[in-house]
């Protein structure tokens, strides 16, 4: 293309812009608003693609004439559209200043319209070319785009395990339960004992990072960054991560394993003096304080673990959306599951069931294999928190196989859930959903599927009504074992976790009436009992206990404690005390093997206590290896 033709087209555009400015000024002076000329539709960049146009003046005039014809057609179309639209008349009594401002704004808008028209022409030309050249391919592209949009929409649909961060804070729930004044007064009384430490530590104070899992204390040390999180892969819409240890943390882990081998709690305490956020050491000290009876100190150690774990989160790690996975199979991920489970139990003991529910949802969403058994307590927290509608939604949508009702905890909890929802619908005069089964039907199904639960509940709650004694005389409810290892284990977990719910009189009445109805049904149709037995055997077909890694005591509210006389046997290395008395400043973590001793002559409670500790190892022959009987207690072993 020649430069003269390009300059000619640009000059024509400038003249059209001037004419448009003059017409807009006339519109301000006159009462009416005549139709203004449309923006130019000439696209000078269209001519750049024409390889046949050279410096020949005849060709230049032909191209210019074609451009003018297109411009006139475009102008006629715009003028027809403007005539059909409503024209807003401007006032004749406006000042000259406003007219000048309007003229300036009009010039700016006109230039914007010219640029916009050029872009629109480019878009239309590109669309026309693509549609005329390859129409079938465009339809394929549209179909592919539609599939991508659908997949994106599916990925952004809210998960049933999506977590509300405002309920993760225990203090918020305590304020909702007891009121802000009570919580503030408790915090003041709790902080009065540590005011001296706070005043003494102001000089070395630092900014504490805010987290969503716990509320960090100002007395905690700065996060040292000793471990981090790395991104692994994205698969099936989920992002996979794992924790990674730094060299210094690996050294601390080696020292902890050495202390664990010799049952030395003083070495564990010394590890925390050097590495404030060593997770296994914090978990071990939390276990110790729990057995001693210092529950608040144990909860603080667990909270400090969660603070360090959250500070190490990857920027792409968004667990509150339910689309991130931390597999328990990675050894470095296990402390997060242990601390979350302990933190959940601690919140439940404080009465913060809504916060415990959110933590349980987080625990279940991090690993679909559910290594901690969150599936067998999430229904309990939902019922205690009053989240009945969510529990029904969870049972229908989670893993979308609609088989949760086969588990004993869900079979009974869904009936309780429907019972409270029916009560809410009755109180609000709302229309009942006839498509869903009633609470009586669900309770009957639960009793037919898991009849051994009834006898365990009568003994655990306890249910002292004489009607339950008569019900248990029936052959169907006489036994409290199913002889299916996995099912019997899950029933024990459910009764230990949820027996408190059945202390309410309304639920006892529902259970009693439905059990009597089951007895009447079995008298008329005895074959129904065999049918439900077949369902149990098919649902739990394994001959071994598939859930033996879940301890029943972990789901209990009871806390095991030892008498003070037996605490002197808590694993302490005597050489720590000797080294401190002699003033030796060696490495307290570099210790050897303690002399072994048989557990036959040990106190039974002490041996039971040590067996619950992480480092307990009694060998292949069942004989335990512990420290010497001259061990000192934990308080004297550190030296005063």
What are 230's two structure tokens? 């790395």
Tokens representing 440? Answer: 């009586």
For residue 517, pLDDT over 80 is answered with yes
Using alpha carbons, list the distances in angstroms from residue 302 to 1, 175, 269, 307, 481.
76, 22, 15, 9, 37
Q: Give the E-state strand segments of 294-428 in sequence order.
A: 324-326
Nearest CA among 116, 103, 114, 106 for reference residue 39: 114
Domains along the chain with CATH numbers: 169-185+209-372 (1.25.40), 386-571 (no CATH)
Q: What is the pLDDT of residues 196-229, one digit of tens each?
A: 443 444 444 556 788 999 989 888 999 999 999 9
* pLDDT value, residue 551: 93
Going by their DSSP bridges, the two strands 227-235 and 238-245 should be labelled as antiparallel
Q: How far apart are CA 495 and CA 410, in angstroms?
A: 12
Cα separation, 28 vs 10, in Å, equals: 28
Residue 558 confidence (pLDDT) = 81
pLDDT of residue 132: 38
Distance between CA atoms of residues 440 and 458, nearest Å: 19
Strand 238-245 versus strand 324-326 pairing type: parallel
Which of 242-256, 258-272, 309-323, 368-382 shows the lowest mean pLDDT across its residues? 258-272
Q: Tokens 């401002």 map to which residue? A: 101
Most confident residue range from 10-24, 75-89, 262-276:
262-276
Q: How confident is the model at residue 392 (pLDDT cuts 50, 70, 90)?
A: very high
Q: Is the confidence at residue 19, as pLDDT, over 50?
A: yes
Instruction: Write out pLDDT tens, residues 396-414.
Output: 999 866 689 999 999 999 9
Mean of pLDDT values over 42-55: 44
CA 76 → CA 20, 80, 588, distances in Å? 15, 6, 93
Answer whether residue 40 shows pLDDT above 60: no
Assess contact for 37 and 65: CB atoms under 8 A: no
Q: Which long-range contacts (CB under 8 A, 24 or more apart) does 547-553 make?
A: 547/373, 547/486, 547/489, 547/490, 547/493, 548/489, 549/371, 550/372, 550/373, 550/376, 550/489, 550/493, 552/489, 552/492, 552/493, 552/496, 553/496
CA torsion, points 191, 197, 203, 209, in degrees to nearest 10? Answer: -50
Nearest to 573 by CA among 594, 589, 597: 594
pLDDT at 617: 53
pLDDT tens figures, 462-500: 999 999 999 999 999 999 999 999 999 999 999 999 999
CA distance 134 to 50: 21
Helix (H, G, I), strand (E, B) or coil at 230: strand
Q: What is the pLDDT of residue 596?
A: 45
Between CA 390 and CA 357 the distance in angstroms is 11
| Count of beta carbons in the 10 Å neighbourhood of residue 72 | 12
> pLDDT band at residue 280, thresholds of 50, 70 and 90?
very high
Q: Which of 1-15, 322-336, 374-388, 593-607 has the lowest mean pLDDT?
A: 593-607
How confident is the model at residue 1, as a pLDDT? Answer: 54
Average pLDDT (273-281) is: 94
| Among 14-23, 270-279, 408-417, 499-508, the least confident range | 14-23
Measured over the CA atoms of residue 372, residue 378, residue 380 and residue 385, the dihedral's sign is: positive
536: its two tokens:
């149990």
Q: What percent of the chain has pLDDT over 70?
A: 62
**What's the confidence (pLDDT) of residue 134?**
39
pLDDT in tens, 559-578: 766 555 444 445 443 333 33
The sign of the torsion formed by the CA atoms of 385, 388, 389, 390 equals: positive
Q: What is the mean pLDDT of the chain?
A: 75
In 3D space, the residue among 277, 258, 278, 259 whose CA is nearest the CA of residue 268 turns out to be 259
Q: For 181-237, list the strands marked E by DSSP.
A: 227-235
Write the CB contacts of 609 (distance below 8 Å, at least 6 apart in sequence): 291, 560, 562, 566, 569, 570
| SS3 assignment, position 347 | helix
More confident residue, 365 or 138: 365
Is 190's pLDDT higher than 80?
no
Q: Compute the distance between CA of residue 211 and CA of residue 552 in angstroms, rounded to an integer.
A: 31
Q: What is the pTM of this model?
A: 0.65
Least confident of 30-39, 62-71, 303-312, 526-535: 30-39
394: pLDDT strictly greater than 50: yes
Residue 89 clears pLDDT 50, i.e. is over it: no
- Burial grade of 622 (CB within 10 A; 0-12, 13-18, 19 or more): exposed
Task: Read off the pLDDT of residues 432-455 as tens digits, 9 standing for 90 and up.
Answer: 677 789 999 999 999 999 999 999
d(CA 118, CA 430): 59
Tokens encoding 160: 């049933």
Q: How many CB atoms lie within 10 A of CB 96?
A: 8
């Amino acid at each position: 293309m020649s430069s003269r033709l390009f300059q000619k087209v640009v000059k024509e555009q400038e003249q059209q812009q001037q004419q448009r400015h003059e017409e807009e000024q006339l519109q301000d002076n006159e009462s009416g608003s005549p139709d203004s000329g449309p923006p130019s539709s000439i696209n000078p960049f269209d001519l750049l693609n024409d390889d046949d146009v050279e410096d020949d003046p005849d060709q230049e005039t032909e191209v210019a004439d074609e451009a003018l014809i297109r411009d006139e057609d475009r102008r006629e179309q715009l003028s027809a559209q403007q005539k059909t639209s409503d024209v807003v008349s401007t006032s004749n009594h406006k000042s000259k200043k406003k007219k000048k401002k309007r003229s300036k704004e009009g010039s700016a808008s006109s230039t914007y319209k010219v640029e916009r028209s050029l872009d629109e022409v480019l878009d239309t030309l590109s669309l026309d070319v693509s549609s005329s050249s390859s129409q079938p391919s465009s339809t394929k592209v549209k179909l592919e785009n539609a599939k991508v949009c659908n997949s994106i929409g599916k990925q952004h649909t809210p998960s049933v395990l999506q977590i509300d961060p405002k309920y993760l804070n225990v203090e918020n729930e305590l304020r909702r339960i007891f009121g802000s004044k009570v919580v503030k007064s408790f915090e003041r009384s709790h902080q009065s004992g540590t005011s001296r430490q706070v005043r003494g530590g102001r000089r070395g104070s630092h900014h504490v990072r805010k987290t969503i899992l716990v509320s960090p204390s100002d007395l905690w040390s700065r996060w040292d960054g000793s471990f981090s999180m790395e991104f692994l892969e994205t698969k099936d819409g989920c992002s996979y991560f794992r924790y990674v240890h730094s060299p210094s943390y690996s050294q601390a882990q080696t020292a902890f394993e050495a202390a664990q081998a010799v049952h030395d709690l003083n070495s564990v305490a010394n590890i925390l003096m050097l590495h404030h956020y060593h997770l296994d050491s914090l978990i071990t000290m939390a276990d110790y304080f729990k057995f001693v009876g210092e529950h608040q100190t144990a909860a603080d150690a667990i909270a400090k673990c969660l603070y360090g774990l959250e500070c190490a989160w990857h920027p792409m790690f968004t667990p509150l959306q339910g689309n991130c996975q931390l597999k328990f199979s990675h050894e470095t991920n296990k402390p997060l599951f242990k601390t979350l489970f302990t933190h959940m139990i601690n919140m439940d003991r404080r009465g913060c069931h809504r916060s415990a529910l959110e933590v349980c949802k987080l625990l279940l969403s991090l690993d679909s294999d559910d290594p901690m058994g969150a599936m067998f307590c999430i229904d309990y927290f939902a019922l205690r928190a009053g989240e009945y509608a969510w529990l029904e939604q969870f049972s229908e949508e989670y893993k979308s196989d609609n088989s949760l009702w086969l588990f004993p905890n869900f079979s009974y909890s869904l009936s309780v859930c429907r019972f409270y929802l029916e009560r809410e619908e009755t109180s609000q005069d709302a229309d009942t959903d006839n498509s869903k089964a009633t609470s009586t039907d669900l309770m009957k199904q639960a009793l037919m599927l898991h009849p051994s639960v009834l006898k365990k509940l009568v003994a655990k709650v306890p249910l002292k009504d004489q009607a339950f004694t008569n019900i248990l005389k029936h052959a169907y409810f006489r036994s409290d074992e199913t002889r299916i290892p996995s099912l019997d284990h899950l029933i024990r977990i459910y009764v230990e976790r949820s027996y408190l719910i059945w202390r309410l009189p309304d639920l006892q009445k529902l259970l009693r009436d439905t059990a009597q109805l089951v007895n009447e049904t079995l008298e008329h149709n005895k074959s129904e009992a065999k049918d439900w037995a077949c369902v149990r055997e098919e649902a739990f077909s394994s001959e071994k206990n598939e859930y033996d890694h879940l301890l029943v005591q972990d789901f209990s509210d009871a806390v095991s404690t030892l008498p003070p006389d037996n605490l002197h046997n808590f694993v302490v290395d005597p050489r720590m005390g000797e080294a401190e008395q002699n003033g030796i400043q060696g490495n307290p973590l570099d210790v050897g093997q303690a002399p072994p001793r048989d557990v036959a002559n040990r106190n039974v409670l002490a041996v039971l206590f040590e067996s619950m500790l992480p480092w307990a190892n009694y060998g292949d022959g069942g004989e335990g290896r512990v420290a010497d009987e001259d061990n000192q207690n934990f308080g004297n072993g550190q030296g005063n």
